[in-house]
Amino acid sequence: MNDVRRAKRDDIPRILELLVQVDMTHHRGRPDLFKGPATKYNAAQLEEILDDDATPVFVCEVEGKVAGHAFCVHKQIVGDSVLTDVKTLYIDDICVDEAYRGRGIGKALYRHVIDYAKSLNFYNVTLNVWSCNPGAIKFYEAMGLKPQKIGMEQIL
Ligand SMILES: CC(C)(COP(=O)(O)OP(=O)(O)OC[C@H]1O[C@@H](n2cnc3c(N)ncnc32)[C@H](O)[C@@H]1OP(=O)(O)O)[C@@H](O)C(=O)NCCC(=O)NCCS
């Protein structure tokens, strides 16, 4: 059974391992942009993130071991001249350990995030995905996500 729950400080070493896997996925796809191996947050930053209800992190345990995580951020821009005040739940990071992929754990994490967002009356769930990560794009498409905006570049 896939058990999704809020992450605790004890999970930090395991979350750091998963963050390396995300970074290496990006590093393999765009070594010009992503250092590898690296983690976007260190242990001290993770403690702050885990303690903050505005940045909930969920983990999925399989047989007592954390197999994946989903980082979320509550976002709302209030009083902008053009943007409405909608409340958005932004998925900052999602990863399933490579040994556990293809078993529905990413889906269980995503569903949990959607249920959480609905329970708090968020308008939408958003995230960014790199074009060099086609597997993640396929996963998000399978979850029903649609492109909202497109980041473009021309390398010089
Ligand atoms: C993307 C990721 C989270 C998917 O997790 P997962 O546990 O393997 O996904 P699931 O087994 O729950 O798959 C759910 C659905 O997505 C589809 N899917 C998942 N990965 C896919 C892939 N690489 N190619 C095609 N489809 C894929 C599955 O077929 C499944 O479809 P279904 O519901 O119709 O059966 C995982 O591959 C991962 O951690 N990748 C590395 C880190 C990463 O890229 N994170 C995202 C950064 S933006």
Going from N- to C-terminal start, the domains of the chain cover: 3-143
Average pLDDT of the residues of the chain: 98
The verdict on the CB of residue 96 being under 6 Å from ligand 1 is yes
In the Cβ-directed half-sphere of 109, how many Cα atoms lie within 13 Å? 30
Across 43-51, average pLDDT: 98
Output the CA 136–ligand 1 centroid distance in Å: 6
Asked if pLDDT for residue 1 goes beyond 90, the answer is no
Asked if pLDDT for residue 142 goes beyond 70, the answer is yes
Report the SS3 class of residue 110: helix
- Tell me the two tokens of residue 140: 């998000």
Nearest atom in ligand 1 to the alpha carbon of residue 108 is: 12
Nearest atom in ligand 1 to the alpha carbon of residue 109 is: 12
| Angstrom distance (rounded) from CA 37 to CA 21 | 8
pLDDT value at residue 2: 76
Output the CA 80–ligand 1 centroid distance in Å: 35
Report the SS3 class of residue 88: strand
Nearest atom in ligand 1 to the alpha carbon of residue 95 is: 39
Give the list of residues 6+ apart from residue 138 with CB closer than 8 angstroms, or none.
Answer: none
Question: How many Å from the N-terminal Cα to the C-terminal Cα in the chain?
Answer: 49
| Angstrom distance (rounded) from CA 50 to CA 69 | 12
The verdict on the CB of residue 103 being under 6 Å from ligand 1 is yes
The verdict on the CB of residue 139 being under 6 Å from ligand 1 is yes
Looking at the DSSP bridge assignments, the partners of residue 5 are: 59
**pLDDT, tens digit, 9 for 90 and up, residues 61-107:** 999 999 999 999 999 999 999 999 999 999 999 999 999 999 999 99
The verdict on the CB of residue 101 being under 6 Å from ligand 1 is yes
| Angstrom distance (rounded) from CA 87 to CA 64 | 34
DSSP secondary structure code for residue 53 in this structure: T
pTM confidence score: 0.98
CATH number of 3-143: 3.40.630.30
